[in-house]
Amino acid sequence: MFQPVFEVSGIEDLLDGRKDGEAGSLMAILEEVQARYRYLPKDALILISERMGVPLSQAYGVATFYNAFSLKPKGRHIINVCLGTACIVRGSRRVLERISDRLEIRPGETTEDGEFTLETVNCLGACALGPVVVVDGTYSGQMNAFKADNLLRAVIGEVEAA
């Protein structure tokens, strides 16, 4: 399984200059660690808790309350498939199955190489465009299995070119 390398020195620079209990600091540091590692490593939560003088339960509580945070490593590319009612009636389950089959992962999983994470969401607020797939924040509407193949080819091509 893909596991990004976590280095203590990699977050100590984020903690330097932060005051214990400073309002908003915990969220800000967690956001920076999430951006750097694409998840919140357990050891990072422990270090942040110790250095900021907040209970580990508080750091963990924040990390698990907000959907923006993950305790599992995520891929460089996040693919969200909408499973809201409007999208489901227009075939989003077939789109999800196609993407899942092509990447050889199920929703909530990350590819072995750490490139892709497949997720589902209850609604993306773009019902008129359903089914909708979002890759790295870019919306693609009126998706079907064929278009999903093309979308994946384009994203995989970008990964290979990088």
93-149 pLDDT, tens digit per residue, is 999 999 999 999 999 999 999 999 999 999 999 999 999 999 999 999 999 999 999
Nearest to 131 by CA among 66, 83, 87: 87
For the chain, the domain total comes to 2
Q: Are residues 99 and 45 in the same domain?
A: no
Q: Are residues 86 and 24 in the same domain?
A: no
Q: Are residues 32 and 57 in the same domain?
A: yes
Residues 6+ apart with CB under 8 A from 23: none
Query: How far apart are alpha carbons 62 and 64 in whole angstroms?
Result: 6
Asked if residue 70 belongs to a domain, the reply is no
Q: Are residues 57 and 110 in the same domain?
A: no
Q: Which domain holds residue 86?
A: 77-161
Q: pTM here?
A: 0.78
Q: Are residues 103 and 149 in the same domain?
A: yes
Q: Are residues 54 and 91 in the same domain?
A: no
